[in-house]
Amino acid sequence: MKMSHVGIMVGDMDQAIEFYTQALGLKVVMGKSEVLEERKTAIGRMCIAVFGEGFEGFNIAHLLTSDGIGVELFEMKNRQERHEVDFSRIGIFHFSLETDDFEGVIEKTLQYGGKQRMDVMRYHPEDDSKPAKMVYLEDPFGNLFELYSHSYAETYASEYE
């Protein structure tokens, strides 16, 4: 199994594209496009099946990480304000990115309207041979993401391979 993409709800598509490209370094595959609620096209029928009647439409953009994972941004016409994450509920609550420019991405996240949710943490602070760091951040719309300095395997393996 391979990861294909993740879909993220945002409040302002232009700001979201700027944040995800400038702060996080993703590349635009398909820029801001409008999708309307209609039954004439396959995409229209699919969206009614997924979002239900009355969603009215949305803007969508497709971005790509450097390793080929898609990030699909959605800006719904009919939406509520930002949700608060309820950690007691079942469901996806964050996504994670890995970078070689750990401190730089944190700075750019703040510069482009995001937030840092915690101090930077090392999983193995007692072992200098395991320098993996992580931090939880938010995009400008409150979507939570985790930033890693090393690969997932390096971060959690009992010994680096």
Which positions ≥6 away from 44 have C-beta within 8 Å?
35, 36, 37, 38
Spatial separation of the C-alpha atoms in residues 150 and 99, rounded to whole Å: 7
Judged against a pLDDT cut of 90, whether residue 61 lies above it is answered with yes
Q: For residue 161, is pLDDT > 50?
A: no
Pairing of strands 115-116, 121-122: unpaired
Decide yes or no: CATH 3.10.180.10 for domain 1-77.
yes
What is the model's pLDDT at position 91? 85
Instruction: Inform me whether the pLDDT recorded for 160 exceeds 70.
Output: no
Q: Domain spanning 93-161: which CATH class is it, in words?
A: alpha beta
- Greater confidence (154 vs 160) lies with 154
Question: What integer best gives the mean pLDDT of the chain?
Answer: 91
Domain ranges of the chain: 1-77, 93-161
Phi-psi region of 112 (alpha: psi -120 to 50; beta: other; left: phi over 0): alpha
The residues near 105 (Cβ < 8 Å, ≥ 6 apart) are 23, 24, 25, 97, 99, 147
- Among 75-84, 89-98, 122-131, 150-159, name the most confident range: 89-98
Query: How sure is the predictor about 159, in pLDDT bands with cuts at 50, 70 and 90?
Result: low
Provide mean pLDDT across the span 118-145: 91
85 pLDDT more than 80: no
Instruction: Give percent of the chain with pLDDT exceeding 90.
Output: 70
Please state the pTM of the whole predicted model.
Answer: 0.88
